[in-house]
Amino acid sequence: MSEKKKFHIEYEIRSSPRILYSFISEANGLMQWFADSVTVRDQIYTFTWDDEEQKAKMLLNKENKLVRFKWIDDDPQFYFEMEVVQDELTNDVALAITDFATEDAIAERKLIWDNQIDYLISVLGA
């Protein structure tokens, strides 16, 4: 089992932090770009893609700022985080993703994020 490494990617998104936050924290927001179906019960989010379910627990939630999830079947030190970042000077908004993957899977995982975020941007009309 090779060791997972943390990686970080950032996407510029033309949206208000509040609107963007609803798309990363609420089931109906996440369903529009992240997964086919999302249900939430007691901080446990069930994400479904092509009839395959994965459950994640929301570990951290800062209003209009960030969400952090941990896949239920993953080791406790691994998580994925989506953070709304706003530049204080320009007010530009970005979505920063922190995730973990094995060395040989990082490129593929980044590509998946790229595709998901492209989809999010088109949904936002940003």
Give pLDDT, residue 52: 95
User: DSSP letters of 79-121?
Assistant: -EEEEEEE-TTT--EEEEEEEEEEGGGHHHHHHHHHHHHHHHH
User: Which CATH number is 120's domain given?
Assistant: 3.30.530.20
pLDDT tens track for 32-89: 999 999 999 998 999 999 999 999 999 999 999 999 999 999 998 999 999 999 999 9
Nearest-angstrom CA–CA distance, 109 and 29: 21
Task: Report pLDDT digits (tens) over 7-32.
Answer: 999 999 999 999 999 999 999 999 99
Neighbours of 117 (CB within 10 A): 20
Structural domain of 120: 4-124
* Number of folded domains that form the chain: 1
